[in-house]
Amino acid sequence: MKFQLTSGGPFALVKLQLAKNEEVKIERSSMVYHNGNVTLEGRMNSTSTNVSVLGNMLKSVAKSVVSGESFFVTIVKSFSDDGEINIAPPAIGSIKELSVGEKQWFLNDGVFLACDKTVEYNMKRQSLGKAVFGGSGGLYVMETTGEGSIIISSYGEIVEIDLKGADKFVVDNRHVLAWESTLNYEIKVASGIFGFTTGEGFVNEFVGKGKILIQTRNIANLATLLSSCGNNN
């Protein structure tokens, strides 16, 4: 999968360039335009082949309801050597490519934008405590498998943290984008009674060696700001 950004700013498109018969997966509804040399097909986001199609669909629908992720993914296939499609993330921010294979990743809701055909992701159920109190990520997080590249997007800039395993590292739950599968984590109350004394709410506490990607803004704060502006009018 070859790609380039149309600009260096927060409103860039992702231009995917495909060879003949090459396929990539993109997030549903992310297409802006293509050059007419590609086809688009919606498929269920399920890697299981051991249950019926109906069973897969029902499981995928249930997961999408509780996680916020679409249970369909769009497959883009080029029928020429110069296939091109431009896609855009839903939020204003940054775009980053992650290598999948030697390293596998967990992704939070709304992060996935595109990946190679050889990369899969499954919705992994979190523990009840993490699901109920997380405030983001729901009952499921996305776990990558396979080998290739995956493109993610953020709200705001992306900051990369490399943990060496010596100390615990704490990140506000709504700022976590992705983390390597080598890391263990727990979702906890930031401070006080449910974090109300500081307003921080819930945090992810990471332990181990690996990378964490965080976003510099969180969409919940934007929603609160817009809501308050509307109430003042």
Domain extents in the chain? 2-232
Sheet architecture: strand order including 169-172: 169-172, 202-207, 184-189
CA distances to 32, 47, 78, 129, 229 from 123, rounded to whole Å, are 26, 10, 28, 17, 36
pLDDT, residue 173, reads: 83
In order along its 233 residues, the chain shows pLDDT tens digits of: 899 999 999 999 999 999 999 999 999 999 999 999 999 998 876 543 333 444 444 444 444 433 344 567 899 999 999 999 999 998 899 999 999 999 999 998 889 999 999 999 887 776 645 544 444 444 578 899 999 999 999 999 999 999 998 889 999 888 999 999 999 988 877 665 554 555 566 788 999 999 999 999 987 766 665 666 766 66
Q: Of 35, 15, 25, which is closest to residue 144 (Cα–Cα)? A: 25
Q: What distance in Å separates the CA atoms of residue 202 and residue 224, rounded to the nearest whole number?
A: 17
CA distances to 15, 120, 124, 188, 233 from 86, rounded to whole Å, are 4, 21, 29, 39, 38
What is the CATH architecture of 2-232? Answer: 4-Layer Sandwich (3.60)
Q: What is the pTM of this model?
A: 0.81
Q: What distance in Å separates the CA atoms of residue 96 and residue 105, rounded to the nearest whole number?
A: 13
